Copies of this chain bind each other. A is one copy, B any other.
Amino acid sequence: MKSDKQPHSDLSAYIADDIRNAIVSGELDVDQRLPSETELAEHFEVSRPTVREALKRLAAQSLIRTQRGATGGAFVRRLRFEEAYDAQVTTAALLLSMNAVSFDVACEARFALERACAPLSASRRTADHLATMRAEIHRQSQPGLSDEAFCASDVAFHRALVDGAGNPVLSFQLAGAVEGMQPLMNMITFTARSRARIVELHTVLADAVQEHDGHSADAQLAVLEEYTRGLAVDVMEQRAKAVLQNAK
């Protein structure tokens, strides 16, 4: 942490950057306590509110946690995979919704990455992962399910598949690709026939994973990708028709 001269605007951003660098570079260890707000204010020659704004920035990135009381203060926080999941999913969803990413592009990325996990998952999945997949398949075949609930179950199914690889780094990366895409998937309306088809594909996929057949699992995902894209195309066409109808 050093206090160089800087442009006299957005002091809190500058200070946050400075402390962030110290954390990322390892200059500050996990659970290490930062100086108190008053001390930081003196060090950076700013007021306490400005320091606080900087600290809130870091807190928003899960880089620090704060504790009140006598021995309190701001501490470098150990970033855990579970917490990073959420941020990952939110970021991915926002990226997709704010950047006019086509369904095809998102779908391609998602299935490409998921297929990378499939062989690993097929060889390492526990009984637990398989049970989760079966349970979600069962849920998906229930008749009264809303489209959103069907999508959520779909995500849970695929997440179990990914988690089956037993690699937390993979699971983390895939969180964005699979769960972040859910809002896009929610635009699809699933007919009884398409649901039946998806359940069928999921079942074959689960069978492949059960038999530790990575190659087959990969192939099934390819089929599922194609089918999903087809569904999206249908939705788009129907929507285009509706627009034409309204224009008359």
List residues of chain B with CB within 8 A of the CB of A60. Answer: 16, 56-58, 60-61
Partner pick for A79 among B16, B78, B87, B91, CB 8 A cutoff: B91
Known contacts A173-B109, A173-B113; A91 and B84 CB within 8 A of each other: yes
A47 CB to nearest chain B CB (Å):
10
* Chain A interface helix/strand/loop/mixed: helix
Q: How many copies does the complex hold?
A: 2
Question: What is the number of residues of chain A that contact chain B, defined by CB distance less than 8 Å?
Answer: 55
> Which one of B57, B106, B167 lies within 8 Å of A169 (CB-CB)?
B106
Measured CB to CB, the nearest residue on chain B to A16 is B60
Q: Which of B49, B57, B95 lies in contact with A84, CB distance below 8 A?
A: B95
When distances are taken between beta carbons in the complex, the residues of chain B under 8 Å from A90 are 24
Q: Are A169 and B101 in contact (CB under 8 A)?
A: yes
| Cβ distance A8 to chain B, nearest Cβ, rounded Å | 13
Q: Could you say which of B84, B98, B168 contacts A105, with CB atoms under 8 Å apart? A: B168
* A79-B91, A116-B116 given; A96·B173 CB < 8 A: no
New A-B pairs, 19, CB < 8 Å, besides A60-B61, A95-B169, A109-B167: A16-B60, A26-B97, A30-B98, A49-B52, A63-B94, A78-B98, A79-B94, A79-B99, A84-B91, A96-B169, A101-B169, A105-B168, A105-B169, A113-B113, A113-B116, A113-B170, A113-B173, A173-B176, A173-B177
